[in-house]
């Protein structure tokens, strides 16, 4: 990048306009690095489910750097401070009003990204730690009953089609997920003799992180190539124009000096 800037600075007038987008691009890259240097707190859910049933016990954990012995923590729920919570572990029995967005901050840390928790009043709930998975990851789902009442004959449905059945175990895992595993999921199960149906949730499986990195790299390579091409064309054009514009002037100067030299001889 420094090399490119030096190249641009050596270009008189013609290539200057190219410097501006490049500078903006560099500033963005620098700003990116600076925010990445500050430690950011992270909210973790325990158990990891982002949807829970009413009366489930939920623990929110705030992780990040802190002074030894000082666990002073700030919790935010829907943007408002929870003044009574000053510990990094925040455990509660869920009510519907506990739904919403949680953020935390340990001393010295930047406020965490938000974590969404949804508390649902129902008999049955299909739980997951996240809604978006990368290709190749393992999708974990759990068919959970209110107050963990004994559940049996559990079926997992994807887009309305039964895909897995368990006599007693209510956990499902799909290893090496690919795009075909994206879709709407729900579960059914028997509480005694009564069949209950969970609401559905939408799972998305997206291209792997490697693909993202590679596409980002290609974006940068293409960007540099285009910049170089523009620079080359522009510089070429500049020198071409300069030569063509100066030719008549130089011809005139040459003819003038010839005349001057010839003048005394002509006398
Ligand atoms: C938070 O919970 C974990 C276990 O779940 C425990 O090891 C840790 O000591 C707790 N931290 C505090 C500050 O209570
Ligand atoms: C939830 O919030 C609403 C409105 O703020 C309130 O009326 C209700 O009593 C709350 N419910 C519980 C279980 O705290
Ligand atoms: C927080 O927001 C969620 C939805 O955005 C809402 O269901 C919940 O009742 C809110 N709770 C409080 C205490 O504001
Ligand atoms: C712990 O850190 C907080 C926030 O930086 C500070 O206000 C508090 O005084 C510290 N407590 C102790 C005991 O050092
Ligand atoms: C239930 O199924 C999960 C995932 O399929 C498995 O890891 C777990 O060991 C099973 N539990 C029992 C008690 O069989
Ligand atoms: C996705 O995974 C399933 C089994 O888990 C496999 O049968 C299918 O061929 C895979 N599809 C692709 C496009 O890789």
**What is the Å distance from ligand 5's center to 144 Cα?**
14
Beta bridge partners of 141: 172
Ligand 1: does its nearest atom lie under 6 Å from the Cβ of 70?
Answer: no
Contact 153, 184 (CB under 8 A): no
Exposure b/e, 131-157, CB count within 10 A at least 16 = b: eebebebebbbbbbbbeeeebeebbbb
Alpha-carbon Rg of the chain, whole angstroms? 33
What percent of the chain lies above the pLDDT cut of 70?
73
For atom 1 of ligand 6, the residue with the nearest CA is 178
Q: What is the pLDDT of residue 15?
A: 45
Element (H, E) at 183: strand 183-191
pLDDT value at residue 122: 97
The answer to whether the CB of 10 is under 6 A from ligand 3 is no
The confidence score (pLDDT) of residue 266 equals 44
Instruction: Specify the DSSP class assigned to residue 110.
Output: B
Ligand with an atom nearest the CA of residue 68? 4
Q: Residue whose CA is closest, atom 14 of ligand 5?
A: 169
Read off the pLDDT of residues 40-90 as tens digits, 9 standing for 90 and up: 899 999 999 999 999 999 999 999 888 888 889 999 999 999 999 999 999
CA triple 109-110-116, angle to 5 deg: 115
Q: Ligand 5 pocket by C-beta < 6 Å: which residues?
A: 169, 171, 173
Atom 12 of ligand 6, residue of closest alpha carbon? 178
CA atoms in the 13 A half-sphere facing the CB of 89: 5
Does the beta carbon of 180 lie inside 6 Å of ligand 6?
yes
> pTM of the predicted model, to two decimals?
0.70
User: Taking 60 as the threshold, does the pLDDT of residue 35 lie above it?
Assistant: no
pLDDT attached to residue 255? 53
Task: For ligand 1, atom 12, name the residue with the nearest CA.
Answer: 89
Atom of ligand 6 nearest to the CA of 176: 5
Would you call the peptide bond into 47 cis, given omega within 30 degrees of 0 as the criterion?
yes
97 DSSP 8-state letter: G
Q: Is 260 helix (H, G, I), strand (E, B) or coil?
A: helix
pLDDT at 65: 83
Nearest CA to ligand 3 atom 3: 100
Whether residue 107 has its Cβ less than 6 Å from ligand 4: yes
Q: Answer with the residue of higher pLDDT: 127 or 210.
A: 127
Atom of ligand 1 nearest to the CA of 88: 13
Closest ligand 2 atom to residue 97 Cα is: 1
Please state the atom number of ligand 2 nearest to the C-alpha of residue 96: 13
Q: What is the pLDDT of residue 104?
A: 96
Q: With H, G, I as helix, E, B as strand and everything else as coil, classify residue 148.
A: helix
Q: What is the distance in A from the centroid of ligand 2 to the CA of 38?
A: 37
- The residue whose CA has the least distance to atom 13 of ligand 5 is 169
Q: Check: CB of residue 143 under 8 Å from CB of residue 151.
A: yes
């Amino acid at each position: 990048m420094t090399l490119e800037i030096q190249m641009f600075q050596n270009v008189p007038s013609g290539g200057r306009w190219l410097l501006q987008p490049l500078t903006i691009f560099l500033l963005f890259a620098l700003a990116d690095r600076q925010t990445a240097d500050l430690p950011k707190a992270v909210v973790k859910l325990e158990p990891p489910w982002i949807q829970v049933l009413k009366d489930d016990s939920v623990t929110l954990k705030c992780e990040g750097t802190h002074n030894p012995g000082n666990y002073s923590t700030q919790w935010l729920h829907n943007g408002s401070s929870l003044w009574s919570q000053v510990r990094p572990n925040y455990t509660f029995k869920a009510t519907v009003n506990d739904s919403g967005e949680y953020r935390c901050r340990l001393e010295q840390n930047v406020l965490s990204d938000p974590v969404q928790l949804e508390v649902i009043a129902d008999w049955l709930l299909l739980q997951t730690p996240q809604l978006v998975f990368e290709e190749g990851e393992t999708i974990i789902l759990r068919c959970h009953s209110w107050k963990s009442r004994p559940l049996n004959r559990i079926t997992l449905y994807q887009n309305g089609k039964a895909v897995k059945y368990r006599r007693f175990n209510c956990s499902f895992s799909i290893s090496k997920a690919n795009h075909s595993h994206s879709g709407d999921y729900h579960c059914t199960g028997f509480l005694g003799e009564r069949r209950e149906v969970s609401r559905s949730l939408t799972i998305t499986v997206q291209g792997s992180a490697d693909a993202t990195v590679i596409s980002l790299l290609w974006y940068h390579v293409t960007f540099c190539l285009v910049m170089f091409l523009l620079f080359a064309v522009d510089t070429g054009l500049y020198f071409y124009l300069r030569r063509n514009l100066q030719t008549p002037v130089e011809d005139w100067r040459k003819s003038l000096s010839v005349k001057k030299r010839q003048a005394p001889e002509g006398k």
